[in-house]
Chains A and B, each alone.
Chain A
Amino acid sequence: MSTSLLLLLIVLIGFISYFAGRARSLAQANGKLSNLHSLPGYHGSYVAIWAILPAALVLGAWLVAAPMYIDSSTRATLPEAVQTQGGATVELALGQVKSVAGGLKRLTTEEISALESGSANLRSTLAAKGVALAGEGEPYMITAAQHFNAMNATNRWLMSAVVLLIAIAGGVYAIRNIATRFRARNQVERVMLGSLIVASSIAILTTVGIVASMLSEAGRFFTMVSPFEFFFGTVWDPRFAAAGSGGASGQFGLIPLLAGTLYIAFVAMLFAVPIGLFAAIYMAEYASPRLRSTAKPLLEVLAGIPTIVYGFFALVTVGPFLRDISAQLNGLVTGNYQNFIQAQSVVTAGIVMGIMLIPFVSSLSDDIITQVPRALRDGSLGLGATRSETVKKVILPAALPGIVGALLLTASRAVGETMIVVLAAGVAARMQINPFEPMTTVTVKIVNQLTGDLEFTSPQTLVAFALGITLFVITLGLNIYALYIVRKYREQYE
C-alpha cells in the first residue's frame, strides 16, 4: 500500500470517527444539548484527533526509521570481502544493490532464475529493461537485492497494518471515553494550543537550522583549510581540483571578497543616503498630503521591484552608459577615446544598488522623523527659526539615533544583496581602490561556488558555507544593533 493511499485511509478513518463521536455524544445528550459539557462537534473532533494524530506520528517515525533498518540489514547480507573494505565501498555496493533491486521487479521469474543460475548477464539483462547499472554486477548482489525487496515488501504491509490498527484503536478508545460530563473541548483546545506552539517554534528551528547547517559544513571546510588562512588570507583563488584528487588546492582568502562587499555597499550607501534622507525630510516636513500620498508609494515601488530586474538594468543600461560616457569624457580631455569605467565595476553595482536602497532609507527615516514630538518643532519655529533650521538643528539631532539604526538596517541589505552584484560587479577577486574597476563580493562567490555540478566533499564547495556564515554573522550583528538602537530611541519618546 503506498504512503499516500495510507494517509488517505487515515484521514478517512478520522472523518468517520468525527461523525461517530458526534453521533455518540448526541445520543448521550438524550435530545437535550445542554446536558453535554462540550458541543457535539468538539466530541467529534476529539475522536478524530485520537484516530489521526497517533497514527500519523507513528507513520512519520516509521518512514524515517524503516529505510535505515532495511539498509543496515541488507548491508549485513553483503559478503565479508565487501564489508571488510568499509565505508565508501560498502555504500557503493549498497547503491548498486538498490538499483538491481529496482530492476529485478521488472523481470519475469524465468529471467530471474536465469540470472541466479549465472546463465544470463546481470547488467545486460537489466539494461534491456531500461535500468542502467553503474558497474558490472556481481552475483552476490542478486541475493542481496532479493533480500532487500523481500524486506521492503514485508515492511510495506507491516507498516500499513500497524498504522491502520493504531488509527482504529485510537478512534475506538476515544469513542468509549465520550460521556455527557466529558470535557472534550478542553482536550481539543489543548491539542490546538500544542499545534500553535509547534508552528511558532518553526521560526526558532529555522534559525537553528541556518546556524547548525552552516556551522557543520563550514566546520568541514575548516578541517581542510585553516581558519586563519580563510579569515586573513588576501588571495582568493579556489582552483577547481579534479574530482577525487582530494586535498585543498587553491587559496581561500576572505579579505578581497569582504573588501569588495564593503566597498560596493559603501558606494551604494553614498548614493542612497543623501537622496533617501532628503526625500524623507521633504516628505515628512514640507510635502502637502496630496504629494505625500502619491510620491511615497511611488518611491516604495522601487523596493518592490525584484533585484534581478535591477541586475538586468545595470547590465544593459547603467553599465554601458557609464562606459560610454567615460570614453567621451576621456576623449574630450585627453583626446584618447578609451573608457576608464568598466561596464562591470564597483560604481555600476554601487549606483544600481543605491537606487534599490533609496526607498529603504526614505521610508525608515520618514517613520522616525515623523515620530519626533510636535512640541520640539513648535518650540523651534516659535523661536523664529526657519523650517530648514528646525530640521537641521532640532529634528535631525533628535532623530539621529533612529536614523543611524535605519541606515544600519539598510547597510545590512546592501551587504547581503546578491543579484545586482552577480550581474554588475564582476567576478575578479582583487583588492584595489579604483571604483571604476570590477571587484567581487561574498555573495557573488557563494553563487559561483555553488552553481553547477558539485560534490559535498571538496573545499571549493564547502567554502560557500564558510562565506555564508560570515555573511550571516555580519548582517545579524548589524540588524541586532540597529533594532536595539531603534527600540531604545522609540522608548525615549513614548
Chain B
Amino acid sequence: MTDIASPTVRISARPASATRDIGIKRRYAAERRFRAYGIGAISLGLFFLALLLWTVVSNGYTAFQQTTITLPIEFTEKVIDPKGERATDGKVLMTANYPLLVREALIKQLGIDASKRPQVKQATDMVSASSRTLLRDIVVADPSVIGKTIPVTLLAEANVDSAFKGQIDLNVEESKRKVKDQQVTWMNELASAGVLKKSFNTGIFTFGASSRPEAAGVGVAALGSLFMMLIVLVLSLPIGVAASIYLEEFAPKNRLTDLIEVNINNLAAVPSIVYGLLGLAVFINFAGMPRSAAVVGGLVLTLMTLPTIIIATRAALKAVPPSIRSAALGLGASKMQTIFHHVLPLAMPGILTGTIIGLAHALGETAPLLLIGMVAFVVDYPGSPMEPSTALPVQIYMWANEAERAFVERTSGAIIILLIFLVVMNLGAILLRRRFERRW
C-alpha cells in the first residue's frame, strides 16, 4: 500500500529540474550485497571442505609412522621350552612365556634392577603387548632360533608412541598422563642409543583388528572391501548394462516399462540403510547365507549400485547418435548386432565412468554393512568371500567409537587410505572420460 501512497508525496516535494531518484545507489548496494552472499556461500562451502580434509590429514598423517624398539632378544630355551618337550608337543611353542623374553631384554638394555617390580613393570609397559605373538611367530616359523640372540624390532606401546611423536604434553602433572617421567627418560635414552626410533608404519596396511592401537591395521578390512568390490563389479556391470540396453533400445513404451523407469529412479534415492534391512531379511534370514560374510555385503552393495549404473548407462546409450544405428541397420545388421557391435562399444567410456563412480560410492558405504553383521572383530585375513570379514568404512566406524587417543590417529589414517582409494577411482573416471569421450 505504501508504494501507491508515497509517490504522490515525493513528486510534490521534488524540484522539477532534479533527476528522478530511482534509488540507484540503494539498488547497486543491494546488488553488491547479493554478490557477496553468493561469494560467501561458495567460500563457506569450500572452507568446510578444507576444514574437513585438514582435520583428517592433521590427525592422521602421524598414523603412517610408528615408533619401534629394536632389542636383542635372547631366545633362551629355559623360558620357551623348560622341559624340552617341543619335539613331541606342538603346544609348547604356542603357549610359552614370550613376554618374559622381552622383559629380560629390556632389563638388560636399560640396566634396571630386576628385583624392583614397579620399575620393571613400567619398562615392560613401554613395549606393545603384541610382541608376544610377534616372538611366537618367529619361534614357530624357525625353532632353531632357540638358544640364539637375535635383534628383533618390537612395536612401542601406543602411549609411548604418542609421546615420542610429541602428541602428549609432558608438562602436565605426571599422575594425569599415561606416560610416566621414568618412561620418558628411558624413551629419550633409548632414542639417543638408536634403539627406539620412528619408522614408516607398514602395520597399518597389513594388520587386522586389535584392541591395541599400535597393533591395529586396515589390512583385513581392505581385503574384505576388495572382495565386495569384486562381487559388485562382476554382478552389477553386466546386469546393469543388460537392463539399460533393454530399457533404452528394446522396451516398448507401455505402463510396465514406465513403472520400471520410475522404479529405478526411486531406487537410486532409497536410503542405503534400507538395503541393509533387505539384505538382512532376504539373504541372511531367508536364504540362510552366513552373517558378516563379504558375499552378503557384496550382494547388498550390488543392489544399491545397480540404479546408479543403469542411469549412467542409459545416458551413455542415449548419447550415441541415431545415425550409427541407422547405418548399421541399413547394412543389414540385426538389431542385436547393431547394439552389441556398434552402439555398445561407442557407449563404453560413459558406462565405465558411471560404473567407477558407482563403485566408489559403494566402497564408502557403511550403513547397510552394519546391519548384516560386518561390525565384527576380525583378526585374520578371510580366505574367501564366505568367511567373516569386515570392510574399510566399517573399520573406521569401529575405531571412531574407541576412546583412546591413539585410535583417533588410526581412524584418521584409515580415512586417509579410504579417501586415497576414492580419489584414485574418481580420477580414473575423469581421465577415462577425457580420454575416450566423443562429442557427436
Contacts and interface: CB of A to CB of B under 8 A. Distances in A.
Interface of A: 185, 189, 192-193, 195-197, 199-204, 206-207, 209-210, 213-214, 216-217, 274-279, 281-283, 286, 295, 298-299, 301-302, 304-313, 315-317, 355, 358-359, 362, 386-389, 391-392, 409, 412-413, 415-419, 422-423, 443, 446-447, 450-451, 456, 464-465, 468, 471-472, 475-476, 479-480, 483
A3 to B, nearest CB: 14
B271 A282 contact: no
Interface stretch (B68-76, B118-126, B261-269, B346-354): B261-269
A295 B42 contact: yes
B256 to A, nearest CB: 9
Given A275-B41, A279-B45, A391-B34, A210 B245 contact: no
B277 A479 contact: no
Given A279-B42, A412-B271, 20 more contacts: A199-B239, A202-B243, A203-B260, A210-B270, A275-B45, A276-B41, A278-B41, A279-B41, A279-B45, A281-B38, A286-B38, A306-B364, A312-B415, A359-B45, A386-B28, A389-B30, A409-B269, A443-B367, A475-B269, A476-B266
B419 A305 contact: yes
Interface string B250-287: 11000000011011111101111111111011100110
A199 B243 contact: yes
A42 B247 CA distance: 24
A309 B419 contact: yes
A309 B415 contact: yes
Contact of A450 (B35, B243, B269, B280): B280
Given A302-B45, A409-B269, A200 B39 contact: no
Contacts of B186: none
Interface string B356-367: 000011011111
A315 B260 CA distance: 40
Among B27, B31, B278, max chain A CB count under 10 A is at B278
A355 B306 CA distance: 27
A378 to B, nearest CB: 18
B51 interface: yes
B46 A299 contact: yes
Contact of B278 (A209, A278, A456): A209
Nearest to A185: B334
A358 B45 contact: yes
B306 A203 contact: yes
A213 B278 contact: yes
25 contacts: A189-B334, A189-B336, A199-B246, A200-B247, A202-B239, A203-B263, A210-B274, A214-B278, A217-B281, A275-B41, A275-B45, A278-B38, A278-B41, A279-B42, A299-B49, A309-B418, A312-B400, A316-B55, A316-B408, A355-B48, A386-B28, A415-B271, A418-B366, A472-B274, A483-B265
B216 interface: no
B86 to A, nearest CB: 23
Nearest to B393: A308
A273 B233 CA distance: 35
A308 B396 contact: yes
Interface residues of B, number: 86
A8 B244 CA distance: 29
B44 interface: yes
Given A278-B38, A295-B42, A388-B30, A196 B266 contact: no
Contacts of B35: 282, 286, 388
B162 interface: no
A320 B40 CA distance: 25
Contacts of A309: 52, 56, 364, 396, 415, 418-419
B306 A206 contact: yes
A472 B239 contact: no
A203 B267 contact: yes
A196 B242 contact: yes
B42 A196 contact: no
A207 B415 contact: no
B307 interface: yes
Nearest to B44: A275
A483 B40 CA distance: 30
B426 interface: yes
A279 B38 contact: yes
Contacts of B37: 278, 282
A-B pairs with the 10 shortest C-beta distances?
A416-B271, A282-B38, A306-B364, A278-B41, A199-B242, A213-B281, A388-B34, A200-B243, A418-B367, A196-B246
Nearest to A316: B408
A415 B272 CA distance: 11
Contacts of A193: 246, 250, 336
B56 to A, nearest CB: 7
Interface in B364-418: 364-367, 370-371, 375, 393, 396-397, 400, 408, 411-412, 415, 418
Given A213-B281, A316-B55, A416 B273 contact: yes
A317 B55 contact: yes
Contacts of B265: 479, 483
Contact of B41 (A282, A415, A423, A456): A282
A446 B371 contact: yes
B226 interface: no
Given A306-B393, A419-B367, A446 B400 contact: no
Nearest to B303: A206
Given A282-B42, A308-B393, A362-B45, A203 B307 contact: yes
Among A207, A213, A306, A355, max chain B CB count under 10 A is at A306
Contacts of B156: none
Given A306-B364, A355-B48, A465 B281 contact: yes
A418 B243 CA distance: 29
Interface string B43-67: 0111011011001100100000000
Nearest to B418: A306
Nearest to A207: B263
Contacts of A275: 41, 44-45
A203 B264 contact: yes
B88 to A, nearest CB: 20
Given A315-B400, A386-B27, A304 B41 contact: no
B191 interface: no
Contacts of A451: 370-371, 375
A466 to B, nearest CB: 10
Contact of A306 (B30, B247, B275, B422): B422
A312 B247 CA distance: 40
A309 B395 CA distance: 12
A205 to B, nearest CB: 9
B243 A213 contact: no
Nearest to A217: B281
Nearest to A423: B400
Contact of B273 (A299, A392, A446): A446
A201 B397 CA distance: 35
Contacts of A475: 269-271, 274
A313 B262 CA distance: 35
Contact of A311 (B42, B273, B286, B397): B397
A419 B397 contact: yes
Contact of B39 (A197, A282, A472, A479): A282
Contacts of B363: 306
A466 B37 CA distance: 43
Given A276-B41, A423-B400, A472 B270 contact: yes
Contacts of B282: 209, 213
A418 B271 contact: yes
Interface in B1-18: none
B336 A192 contact: yes
B187 interface: no
B360 A304 contact: yes
Contacts of B244: 200
Contacts of B31: 386-389
B310 interface: yes
Contacts of B335: 189
Interface string B20-40: 000000011011011101111
Contacts of A299: 42, 45-46, 49
